[in-house]
Amino acid sequence: MPMNPTPKRRLTIVLLILAAAAIAAVLVVVALQNNMNYLLTPSQVQSGEAGSYNTFRLGGMVKAGSIQRSNDSLKVTFTVVDAGGAMPVEYTGILPDLFRDNQSVIATGHMDNAHFIATEVLAKHDETYMPKELKDAMAKAHANKKIEDAAAAQDKMP
């Protein structure tokens, strides 16, 4: 159906401006893509991607059992791992509540002889929320399944 000429002209102008702004935004976002990544993972660091940065953020999981606290200071050492790499980290200071084994963390700092010296350590949590009982029940079910799988695998053995 026909529209009056004036609103039609305005519609065209507004849509053109919107399209131009959208294209500009996409270009900016794509151009910034490399700089907008908040962190590098241990395997990225080991493959040399951190070479151009003096300081950067290292992200990954705290390796279970790797946390070692100093007796006479706030110094902590731990290992941050991802799927394909591991990086020893040194930090002196207060850690967030969520810092523990197998927690995602993001450390800011610099490299020093294959060690990462952190000036800040942040804990990252995922998007899952559930009561503790449910988590425990799920962990238990998971463990049981592992045992069953192992038992089943053993049964199959000759």
Residues contributing to the site for other proteins (CB under 8 A): 1-4, 7, 10-11, 14, 17-18, 21-22, 25, 29, 36-39, 59, 95-99, 106, 120-136
CB proximity list for 124: less than 8 A, separation 6 or greater: 59, 103, 104, 105, 106
CB of 79 to other proteins, least distance (A): 19
> Which one, 38 or 152, has the nearer CB to other proteins?
38
Q: In the chain, how long is the greatest CA-to-CA distance?
A: 85
> Which one, 9 or 151, has the nearer CB to other proteins?
9
Query: How close are the terminal C-alpha atoms of the chain, in Å?
Result: 79
CB of 9 to other proteins, least distance (A): 9
> Which one, 22 or 151, has the nearer CB to other proteins?
22
CB of 116 to other proteins, least distance (A): 17
**Distance from C-alpha of 90 to C-alpha of 79, rounded to nearest angstrom:** 9
Residue 40's Cβ-count burial label (10 Å; 0-12, 13-18, 19+) is: buried
CB of 20 to other proteins, least distance (A): 9
> Which one, 142 or 156, has the nearer CB to other proteins?
142
Q: 91 a known binding residue?
A: no
Checking phi first, is residue 79 left (phi over 0); if not, alpha (psi -120 to 50) or beta?
beta
Annotated binding site: 125, 129
Annotated binding site for heme: 125, 129
